[in-house]
């Protein structure tokens, strides 16, 4: 963290041509200081926290309604709680709003969030095996990523590797419900240690998916990293435009521990460059490391 604030005060010095397009000038909205726990940025934690109530829609609905009540007057805009309010009083940091959320190379991390009203335009249902049955937004991704994902699953199967989806898209409302649930249960500071702040979860982009073997054993756990499925993905995901978004040894850049299961679509060319160079998306876009 030391020195980070100094850097971020002069965003122009860290911009390069690519991320100028991606992130652009800081959104006016971002001038509202979005607070973030400094400790949270220092910790490398899971980016894929699942809903504690699994697919229990009744409870999700309950969480959603309580969120809605708090924002009755904002109805129509999209009922969003001000998560920044929840952390007022903590050490402050800046979270910038990305200018081009629909880009396949959008950078979403602990310092860059999606606009609060952002919903990916072309979410489609994924026709690949999942470790759970029934309909769910977790089985959706942006169309641009859905086709290559299906092709990747098919290619893996040819190699004797049967993959399954664990969780793909997560709406902003769901992420809010999830975060608020944890914040109310454990306090905001604690919640930030294992759950992404609304808007900063890559799952909200519709370009990320957690993947496991077909049995679901080791899904979204460190043990998955040692499976043949993880090895296959580490080698071949790039051919389909996906990267292992939080690689081993890059915790200080991504802000998250190694997650062999969390794949992010960035397009084939970028995926190959990132994987071949052993870089992260942050480094590829010449962005500041999360934990600096």
Spell out, one character per residue from 143 to 182, where the chain touches Zn ion: x when CB under 5 A holds, - when not. Answer: ----------------------------------------
Spell out, one character per residue from 74 to 113, where the chain touches Zn ion: x when CB under 5 A holds, - when not. Answer: ----------------------------------------
Pairing of strands 96-97, 112-113: parallel
Vertex 166 angle, CA 230 and 183, to 5°: 115
**Quick one: 94 or 245, whose CB is closer to Zn ion?**
245
Q: Is 36 left (phi over 0), alpha (psi -120 to 50) or beta?
A: beta
**Quick one: 94 or 198, whose CB is closer to Zn ion?**
198
**By the rule CB under 5 A, 48 interacts with Zn ion:** yes
**Quick one: 79 or 106, whose CB is closer to Zn ion?**
106
Question: Is residue 45 packed enough to be buried (19+ CB in 10 Å), middle (13-18) or exposed (0-12)?
Answer: middle
Identify the three-state secondary structure at position 264: strand
**By the rule CB under 5 A, 210 interacts with Zn ion:** yes
Active site residue 20: no
**3-state secondary structure labels for all residues of 233-262:** HHHHHHHHCEEEEECCCCHHHHCCCCEEEE
CB of 45 to Zn ion, least distance (A): 12
CB of 170 to Zn ion, least distance (A): 9
Q: How far apart are alpha carbons 154 and 229 in whole angstroms?
A: 13
Identify the three-state secondary structure at position 167: strand
**Quick one: 172 or 262, whose CB is closer to Zn ion?**
262
Query: Using CB under 5 A, which of the segments 6-14, 54-62, 132-140, 210-218 binds Zn ion?
Result: 210-218
Phi, psi at 243, each rounded to 5°: -125, 150
Phi, psi at 84, each rounded to 5°: -65, -30
**By the rule CB under 5 A, 207 interacts with Zn ion:** no
Q: Provide the sign of the torsion angle of the four alpha carbons 195, 197, 198, 202, taken in this order.
A: negative
Query: In this chain, which residue has its C-beta nearest to Zn ion?
Result: 48
Q: How far apart are alpha carbons 93 and 196 in whole angstroms?
A: 15
Query: Using CB under 5 A, which of the segments 40-48, 107-115, 130-138, 248-256 binds Zn ion?
Result: 40-48
**By the rule CB under 5 A, 204 interacts with Zn ion:** no
**Quick one: 202 or 287, whose CB is closer to Zn ion?**
202
**Quick one: 18 or 45, whose CB is closer to Zn ion?**
45
Query: Using CB under 5 A, which of the segments 2-10, 65-73, 175-183, 204-212 binds Zn ion?
Result: 204-212
Q: Which of residues 251-280 bind Zn ion (CB under 5 A)?
A: 262
CB of 7 to Zn ion, least distance (A): 27
CA 53 to chain centre: 20
Q: Which of 204, 251, 259, 282 is catalytic?
A: 259
C-alpha distance across the termini of the chain, in Å: 5
CB of 51 to Zn ion, least distance (A): 13
- Binders of Zn ion: how many residues, by CB under 5 A? 3
CB 81 within 8 A of CB 63: no
Which residues are catalytically annotated?
Answer: 259
Q: Which residues bind Zn ion (CB under 5 A)?
A: 48, 210, 262
């Amino acid at each position: 963290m030391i020195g980070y604030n100094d850097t971020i005060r002069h965003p122009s010095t860290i911009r390069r041509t690519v991320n100028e397009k991606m992130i652009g000038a800081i959104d006016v909205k971002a001038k509202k200081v979005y607070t973030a726990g400094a400790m949270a940025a220092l910790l490398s934690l899971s980016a894929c926290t699942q809903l504690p109530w699994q697919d229990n829609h009744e409870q999700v609905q309950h969480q959603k309604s309580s969120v809605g009540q708090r924002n009755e007057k904002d109805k129509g805009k999209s009922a969003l709680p001000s998560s920044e309010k929840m952390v007022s009083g903590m050490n402050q940091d800046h979270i910038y709003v990305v200018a081009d959320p629909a880009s396949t190379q959008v950078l979403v991390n602990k310092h860059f969030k999606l606009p609060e009203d952002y919903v990916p335009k072309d979410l489609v249902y994924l026709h690949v095996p999942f470790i759970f049955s029934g309909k769910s937004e977790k089985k959706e991704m942006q169309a641009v990523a859905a086709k290559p994902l299906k092709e990747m699953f098919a290619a893996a199967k040819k190699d004797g590797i049967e993959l399954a989806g664990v969780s793909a898209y997560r709406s902003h409302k769901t992420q809010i419900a999830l975060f608020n649930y944890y914040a109310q249960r454990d306090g905001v500071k604690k919640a930030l240690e294992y759950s992404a702040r609304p808007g900063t979860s890559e799952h909200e982009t519709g370009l990320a998916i957690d993947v496991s073997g077909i049995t679901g054993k080791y899904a979204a756990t460190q043990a998955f990293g040692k499976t043949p499925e993880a090895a296959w993905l580490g080698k071949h995901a790039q051919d389909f435009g996906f990267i292992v978004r939080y690689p081993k040894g890059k915790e200080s850049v991504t802000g998250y521990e190694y997650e062999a299961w969390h794949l992010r679509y960035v397009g084939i060319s970028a995926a190959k460059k990132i994987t071949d160079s052993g870089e992260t998306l942050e480094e590829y876009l010449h962005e500041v490391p999360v934990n600096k």
